[in-house]
Chain A
Amino acid sequence: MAEYYAKSLELSGIPALTLTNLKHAERIAFDIGGSLTKLAFFSKISHKRALYTINPNTKSNEKPDALNHVSHDSYVSNCETEEEGWRLHFINFETKYIESCLDFVKQNVMGRSTDVNGKIIKATGGGAHKYKQLINEKLGVEISKEDEIQCLIKGCNFLLKNIPDEAFIYEKHSNPPYKFQSPSNQPLFPYLLVNIGSGVSMMKVISDTEVERIGGTSLGGGSFWGLGSLLTKAKGFDELLELAEKGDHRLVDMLVKDIYGGSYDLIGLPGDIIASSFGKAARSASDTSTHLHERIKKGKLS
Chain B
Amino acid sequence: MPWFGMDIGGTLAKLVYFEPTDVTPDEEELEVETLRTIRRYLTSNVAYGSDGVRDVHLEMKNVKLAGRVGTLHFIRFPTASMKSFIELAKEKKLATLADTICATGGGAYKFEEDFNKEVELALHKLDELQMLIQGINFIDDTYPSECFYWAHPDDEEQCKKVPFDFSDPYPYLVVNIGSGVSIIAVKSQGDYARVSGTSLGGGTFLGLCCLLTGCNTFEEAIEMAAQGDSKKVDKLVKDIYGGDYDKFNLPGHVVASSFGHMMCEDHRKTVCKEDLARSTLVTITNNIGSIARMTALNHGINKVVFVGNFLRVNPIAMKLLAYAMEYWSKGQLKALFLEHEGHFGAVGCLIELIKEKR
Interfacial residues, chain A to chain B (CB-CB below 8 A)? 33-35, 96, 125-127, 129-130, 147, 149, 197-199, 201, 213, 215, 217-223, 225-231, 237, 252-254, 256, 258-262, 264, 266-267, 273-283, 285, 296
A275 contacts across to B, CB distance below 8 A: 10, 106, 179-180, 199, 203
- A231–B212 Cα distance when bound, in Å, is 7
Q: Taking A230-B268, A274-B199 as contacts, is the C-beta distance between A281 and B260 under 8 angstroms?
A: no
Binary per-residue interface labels of chain B (202-245) against chain A in the complex, 1 for a CB within 8 Å, 0 otherwise? 11101111111010100000000000000001110101111101
Q: Taking A130-B241, A253-B199, A276-B180 as contacts, is the C-beta distance between A262 and B260 under 8 angstroms?
A: no
Q: Is B11 close to A, CB under 8 A?
A: yes
Given contacts A34-B256, A198-B235, A276-B11, 20 further A-B contacts (CB under 8 A): A35-B257, A125-B240, A126-B241, A198-B257, A199-B260, A219-B283, A221-B257, A223-B257, A223-B258, A226-B258, A227-B208, A254-B179, A254-B180, A258-B10, A276-B10, A278-B207, A279-B179, A279-B203, A282-B203, A285-B216
- A35–B258 Cα distance when bound, in Å, is 12
Q: Is B89 close to A, CB under 8 A?
A: no
- A147–B287 Cα distance when bound, in Å, is 27
- A226–B259 Cα distance when bound, in Å, is 5
Cross-chain contact A296 with B180 (CB below 8 angstroms): no
Q: Which of A34, A237, A266 meets B260, CB within 8 Å?
A: A34
**Can you identify 8 A-B contacts, CB atoms within 8 angstroms?**
A35-B235, A199-B257, A223-B283, A225-B263, A226-B259, A277-B199, A277-B207, A281-B206
Cross-chain contact A217 with B287 (CB below 8 angstroms): yes
A147 contacts across to B, CB distance below 8 A: 247
Q: How many chain B residues touch A (Cβ–Cβ < 8 Å)? A: 62
Describe A's contact surface by its main secondary structure.
mixed
- A258–B199 Cα distance when bound, in Å, is 13
Cross-chain contact A256 with B106 (CB below 8 angstroms): yes
Cross-chain contact B242 with A259 (CB below 8 angstroms): no
Cross-chain contact B263 with A35 (CB below 8 angstroms): yes
Cross-chain contact B106 with A217 (CB below 8 angstroms): no
- A231–B262 Cα distance when bound, in Å, is 10
Q: Taking A126-B242, A219-B283 as contacts, is the C-beta distance between A276 and B257 under 8 angstroms?
A: no
Q: Is B30 close to A, CB under 8 A?
A: no
A130 contacts across to B, CB distance below 8 A: 240-242
Q: Which of B216, B268, B290 meets A229, CB within 8 Å?
A: B268
Q: Which of B106, B243, B261 meets A264, CB within 8 Å?
A: B106
Smallest CB gap from A235: residue in B:
B265
Q: Is B146 close to A, CB under 8 A?
A: no
- A296–B258 Cα distance when bound, in Å, is 17
Q: Is B255 close to A, CB under 8 A?
A: yes
A253 contacts across to B, CB distance below 8 A: 199
Q: Which of B127, B211, B234, B261 meets A231, CB within 8 Å?
A: B211
Q: Is B294 close to A, CB under 8 A?
A: yes
Q: Taking A254-B180, A285-B214 as contacts, is the C-beta distance between A278 and B287 under 8 angstroms?
A: no
- A260–B110 Cα distance when bound, in Å, is 5
Q: Taking A215-B294, A223-B257, A278-B203 as contacts, is the C-beta distance between A262 and B179 under 8 angstroms?
A: no
Q: Is B286 close to A, CB under 8 A?
A: yes
Q: Which of A129, A213, A222 meets B242, CB within 8 Å?
A: A129
Q: Is B345 close to A, CB under 8 A?
A: no
- A225–B258 Cα distance when bound, in Å, is 10
- A221–B264 Cα distance when bound, in Å, is 14
A281 contacts across to B, CB distance below 8 A: 206-208, 210-211
Cross-chain contact B260 with A222 (CB below 8 angstroms): yes
- A226–B268 Cα distance when bound, in Å, is 9
Q: Which of B109, B180, B212, B286 meets A230, CB within 8 Å?
A: B212
A217 contacts across to B, CB distance below 8 A: 287, 290
Cross-chain contact B256 with A278 (CB below 8 angstroms): no
CB distance from A271 to the nearest CB of B (A): 10
